[in-house]
């Protein structure tokens, strides 16, 4: 066994009550840190999950149509007065979308790519009609946005022929059941009759009332996009990298790529503020923990001055004395982290178990994962070592002759 470890552990054991108190103090701070981090992370994960439950991480579209100025001043002294109006944005296809599709599939960090043809239409059944969004997808590939089959409450996931999937609200509004027929028509006069094969509930009333999911081919026909795709949707590995991936796509393809973060800028600001406030709490808690550890070790160094002097007289180099006290700080940090993580995790579980909504689901979900415990252990150990540094340096610099005479 290393001499430093041997003496550090003996010193901690010798001052049992003192060591226990400081470990409990550190554990309390670390428990607060684990609890708050788990709660905030859990909340954010839930918010992001709900937000992304029905949104693609990145949507790639053709660039907006712009008007080219045709009348320009051709010679000096000639003034041309013109008024240029912004053009209406038509539903248009991505140029050579199949090539773009392949290109996007090969991008690092991209896990799913789905071409889509979407636009506005009306769903009519008898006297009832509703404004809807036609979502034309490739049934096999449409997992970039939301796996609709997981949200089916009735029927089956089929988009073959003239099959259609609609939301629960729209089914109620139109009074249609499985196997029923619905006419979907556009303002331009193109229309098609579909058979309802499945009814889904995405958890968002507006989507349940507006989405009409059909095959890509049917949507292309309805929206006059024969062989085209109005957008390509992507799913990425790390949702927080979506912005960076979108930038890369714009750079490489010249198309518009919009990430979920851009679409939900206000939500991102709220999430960042929440993270910042939890970081501030954690920082202050760790400062309090560090000061607790440092004060106990300073007292320990003063109490042991004579012993330190004797150890120096007996051949302990300064570095060895320094390490003896650093190890004590580190051990307190690690012990505090283990105990604190257990308490924090216990509190979080208790919180989840006790506070539930009307449906019995946890009101505040918590995120307890290995990364949280690993980072807690690292932060606590570094805090322990850092807080032990000054007392340890003081101990190592004690003049042995003076320390031995210390009363």
Partner 1 sequence: MSERVIELAGITKDYGAGDARTRVLRGIDLTLDAGELAALIGPSGSGKSTLLNLVGLLDRPTEGKVCVRGRDTVALGDDDRTRLRAQTLGFVFQFHHLLPALSALENTRMPLVMSTGRVERWMDERALALLDRVGLSPRARARASTLSGGEQQRVAIARALAMRPPLVLADEPTGNLDTETSARVFALLREINRDEGTAFLIVTHDPSIAAQCERVIELVDGLVRSDTRR
DSSP-based three-state secondary structure for 232: strand
Question: By the criterion CB under 8 A, which residues form the site for partner 1?
Answer: 1-4, 6-7, 10, 13-14, 306-307, 309-320, 399-401, 404
Alpha carbons 155 and 49: distance in angstroms, whole number: 25
Tell me the closest approach of the beta carbon of residue 300 to partner 1, in angstroms.
13
Of residues 10 and 102, the one with the C-beta less far from partner 1: 10
Do 180 and 213 form a contact (C-beta atoms < 8 A)?
no
Tell me the closest approach of the beta carbon of residue 274 to partner 1, in angstroms.
48
Stated as kind and residue range, the H or E segment containing 341 is: helix 318-354
Of residues 321 and 345, the one with the C-beta less far from partner 1: 321
DSSP 132: E
Of residues 5 and 284, the one with the C-beta less far from partner 1: 5
Of residues 313 and 371, the one with the C-beta less far from partner 1: 313
Alpha carbons 280 and 189: distance in angstroms, whole number: 59
DSSP 149: G
CB count within 10 Å of CB 109 equals: 14
Of residues 183 and 320, the one with the C-beta less far from partner 1: 320
Do 175 and 126 form a contact (C-beta atoms < 8 A)?
yes
Instruction: Report the greatest alpha carbon distance in the chain.
Output: 103
Tell me the closest approach of the beta carbon of residue 402 to partner 1, in angstroms.
9
Tell me the closest approach of the beta carbon of residue 297 to partner 1, in angstroms.
17
Tell me the closest approach of the beta carbon of residue 304 to partner 1, in angstroms.
9
Q: Distances from the Cα of 65 to the Cαs of 62, 120, 214, 257, in angstroms?
A: 9, 18, 27, 15
Tell me how many degrees the CA angle 189-192-194 measures, rounded to the nearest 5: 150
Of residues 248 and 306, the one with the C-beta less far from partner 1: 306
Tell me the closest approach of the beta carbon of residue 328 to partner 1, in angstroms.
14
């Amino acid at each position: 066994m290393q001499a430093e470890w041997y003496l550090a552990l003996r010193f901690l054991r010798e001052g049992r009550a003192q060591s226990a108190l400081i470990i409990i103090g550190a554990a309390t701070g670390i428990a607060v840190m684990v609890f708050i981090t788990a709660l905030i992370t859990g909340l954010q994960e839930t918010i992001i999950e709900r937000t992304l439950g029905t949104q693609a991480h990145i949507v790639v579209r053709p660039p907006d149509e712009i008007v080219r100025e045709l009348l320009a001043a051709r010679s000096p002294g000639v003034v041309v007065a013109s008024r240029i109006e912004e053009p209406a944005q038509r539903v248009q296809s991505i140029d050579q979308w199949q090539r773009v599709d392949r290109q996007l599939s090969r991008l690092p960090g991209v896990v799913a790519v789905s071409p889509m043809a979407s636009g506005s239409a009306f769903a009519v059944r008898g006297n009832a009609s509703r404004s809807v969004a036609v979502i034309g997808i490739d049934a096999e590939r449409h997992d970039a946005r939301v796996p609709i089959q997981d949200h089916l409450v009735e029927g089956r996931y089929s988009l073959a022929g003239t099959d259609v999937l609609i939301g629960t609200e729209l089914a109620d509004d139109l009074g249609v059941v499985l196997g029923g027929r619905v006419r979907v028509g556009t303002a331009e006069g193109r229309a098609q009759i579909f058979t309802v094969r499945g009814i889904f509930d995405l958890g968002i009333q507006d989507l349940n009332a507006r989405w009409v999911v059909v095959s890509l081919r049917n949507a292309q026909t309805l929206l006059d996009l024969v062989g085209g795709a109005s957008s390509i949707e992507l799913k990425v590995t790390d949702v927080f990298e979506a912005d960076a991936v979108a930038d890369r796509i714009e750079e490489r393809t010249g198309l518009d790529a919009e990430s979920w973060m851009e679409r939900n800028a206000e939500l991102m600001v709220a999430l960042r503020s929440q993270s910042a406030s939890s970081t501030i709490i954690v920082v202050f808690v760790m400062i309090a923990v560090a000061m607790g550890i440092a004060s106990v070790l300073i007292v320990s160094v003063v109490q042991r001055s004579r012993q330190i002097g004797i150890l120096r007289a007996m051949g302990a180099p300064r570095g060895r004395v320094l390490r003896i006290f650093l190890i004590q700080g580190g051990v307190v940090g690690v012990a505090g982290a283990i105990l604190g993580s257990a308490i924090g995790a216990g509190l979080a579980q208790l919180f989840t178990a006790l506070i539930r909504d009307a449906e019995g689901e946890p009101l505040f979900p918590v995120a307890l994962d290995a990364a949280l415990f690993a980072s807690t252990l690292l932060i606590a150990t570094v805090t322990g070592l850092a807080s032990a540094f000054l007392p340890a340096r003081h101990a190592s610099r004690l003049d042995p002759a003076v320390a031995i005479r210390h009363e």
